[in-house]
């Protein structure tokens, strides 16, 4: 599924109202040059990428001189492939896949922590016997895709319990939302490693679920914004401008007074998702909670990546076998250099 941004109301007003007015006065209309860019994301949920769609609707990207197109593709690995192939200038992969790509020599760099609280959780049926991840020994765990960020998230939890994939448990790609609900109903999976959007969809389908994610892993941050270092060198102003628009979009969405407007902007990005008002409002609440920095890092501002959290994710990836060996320089995988400017 592909979602493309549309001309914002603000742009339309400038082209119709301001443009006509200046023409009537015999003055040329002022049109700011817009740089076309592609932003690749691993799923089509507009609410999952809330700050982006708010920034589009409020004209924040336009004010930064950017004309973005959002491309929804299948999973973090596909996002990284699109970036490597030059089909997207920016992407929103998970930290686990970024570590794997960096280990393979891809010059990808994580620049913005979109979900400082884990976007994923381990979900089981409310009536099931499973109370904690250790209970999943010998079971099948459903995931959206075989190489998505939810896989590395779950592997880290299971590795800490000395449970080995393929021996003590198995993954089964069952897709997102509705198809995951079918897998639960058919008892094909005992647990589902789902994102906040998946949990909302499953609840809307009538499935009563419980989360059994250990509290320590809720600090494993989720997807964020990444860019190739080669792209950063070629367009040094792209990351500062894109991130600034995202922070403005986030701050707008965090204001309860803007709830309806934020939902409206996201519905423009994915009309089908916005049809069920109760579902959309529930998902918005969950997304905002996970996008809110933890108290320990709130002063750092939106987009900040705690180095110790990166270290924990890295070490878990090594322990689980997702990384064959530790990276020589973990600090090369991410940067907080733009955060202060974004939040100024």
Note the pLDDT of residue 156.
85
Q: Is 312 helix (H, G, I), strand (E, B) or coil?
A: helix
Note the pLDDT of residue 20.
30
Note the pLDDT of residue 286.
86
Instruction: Give pLDDT < 70 ranges for the chain.
Output: 1-33
pLDDT, one tens digit per residue, over 80-104 is 999 999 999 999 999 999 999 999 9
The CATH number of domain 9-117+221-343 is 3.40.190.10: yes
Decide if 9-117+221-343 and 120-219 have a common fold. Answer: yes
The percent of the chain in helix, strand and coil, each rounded to the nearest 5, is: 50, 15, 35
| Phi/psi-derived region of residue 177, left when phi > 0, alpha when psi is between -120 and 50, beta in every other case | left
Domain coordinates of the chain in residue numbers? 9-117+221-343, 120-219
Q: Is 108 helix (H, G, I), strand (E, B) or coil?
A: strand
Which uninterrupted H or E stretch holds 210? Answer: strand 209-211
Note the pLDDT of residue 32.
54
Q: Is 229 helix (H, G, I), strand (E, B) or coil?
A: helix
Per CATH, the homologous superfamily of domain 120-219 is Periplasmic binding protein-like II (3.40.190.10)
Dump the DSSP string for 39-56. Answer: EEESS--TGGGHHHHHHH
Task: Name the pTM for this structure.
Answer: 0.76
Note the pLDDT of residue 79.
96
Q: How many CB atoms lie within 10 A of CB 175?
A: 16
Nearest to 102 by CA among 116, 84, 85, 128: 84
Note the pLDDT of residue 7.
32
């Amino acid at each position: 599924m592909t979602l493309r941004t549309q001309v914002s109301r603000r742009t339309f007003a400038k082209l119709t109202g301001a443009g006509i007015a200046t023409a009537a006065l015999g003055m040329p209309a002022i049109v700011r040059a817009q740089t076309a860019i592609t932003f690749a994301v691993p799923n089509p949920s507009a609410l999952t990428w809330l700050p982006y769609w708010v920034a589009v609707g409020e004209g924040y990207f336009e004010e930064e001189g950017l004309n973005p197109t959002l491309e929804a593709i299948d999973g973090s690995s596909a996002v990284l492939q699109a970036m490597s192939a030059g089909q997207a200038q920016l992407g929103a992969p998970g930290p686990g896949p970024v570590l794997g790509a960096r280990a393979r020599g891809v010059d990808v760099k994580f620049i913005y922590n979109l979900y400082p609280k884990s976007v994923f959780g381990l979900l089981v049926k409310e009536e099931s016997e499973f109370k904690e991840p250790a209970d999943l020994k010998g079971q099948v765990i459903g995931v959206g895709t075989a190489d998505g960020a939810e896989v590395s998230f779950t592997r880290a939890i299971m590795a800490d319990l000395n449970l080995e994939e393929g021996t003590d448990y198995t993954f089964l790609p069952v897709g997102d939302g509705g198809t995951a609900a079918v897998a639960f109903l058919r008892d094909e999976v005992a647990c589902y490693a789902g994102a906040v959007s998946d949990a909302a969809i499953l609840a809307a389908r009538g499935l009563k679920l419980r989360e059994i994610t250990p509290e320590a892993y809720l600090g494993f941050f989720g997807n964020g914004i990444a860019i190739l270092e080669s792209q950063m060198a070629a367009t040094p102003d792209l990351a500062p401008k894109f991130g600034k628009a995202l922070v403005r979009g986030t701050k707008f969405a965090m204001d309860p007074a803007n709830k309806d407007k934020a939902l409206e902007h996201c519905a423009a990005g994915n009309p089908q998702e916005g049809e069920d008002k109760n579902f959309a409002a529930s998902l918005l609440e969950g997304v905002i909670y996970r996008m809110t920095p933890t108290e320990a890092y709130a002063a750092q501002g939106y987009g900040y990546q705690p180095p110790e959290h990166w270290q924990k994710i890295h070490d878990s990836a090594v322990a689980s076998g997702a990384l064959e060996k530790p990276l020589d320089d973990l600090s090369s995988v991410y940067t907080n250099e733009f955060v202060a400017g974004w939040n100024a």
